[in-house]
Amino acid sequence: MGRESAQQQTARIIAAVTLPHHKVLGAGDAFVLEAGDENEQEQLTLDLAKAVKADVVRLSNGICIILRD
């Protein structure tokens, strides 16, 4: 059992890239960028992820989050 918990990976949320209709109440240590439209959201997300060498996940509600181990 000890090995299982030692092998767990945790990712840290670096940022969330949202659209104007998204409601984000708090982001903890992460910061939130608001894009004007979906094209800008995609470009900002990719640029930021590349800059910090992180992974991107698009949530089912359309918010993009940038994660790093």
Flag whether pLDDT at 7 surpasses 70.
no
| Cα atoms in the 13 Å half-sphere on the side-chain side of 66 | 24
Q: Which of 26 and 15 is assigned the larger pLDDT?
A: 15
CB 52 within 8 A of CB 68: yes
Q: Could you tell me the pLDDT band of residue 1, with boundaries at 50, 70 and 90?
A: very low
Q: Other CB atoms closer than 10 Å to residue 64's CB: what's the count?
A: 23
**What average pLDDT does the segment 42-53 reach?**
96
- Residue 18 DSSP code: E
Residue 35 CB contacts under 8 Å (≥ 6 apart), including other chains: 17, 18, 19, 41, 44
Q: Which of 38 and 11 is assigned the larger pLDDT?
A: 38
Q: Which tens digit of pLDDT belongs to each residue from 9-24?
A: 788 999 999 999 998 8
Flag whether pLDDT at 29 surpasses 90.
no
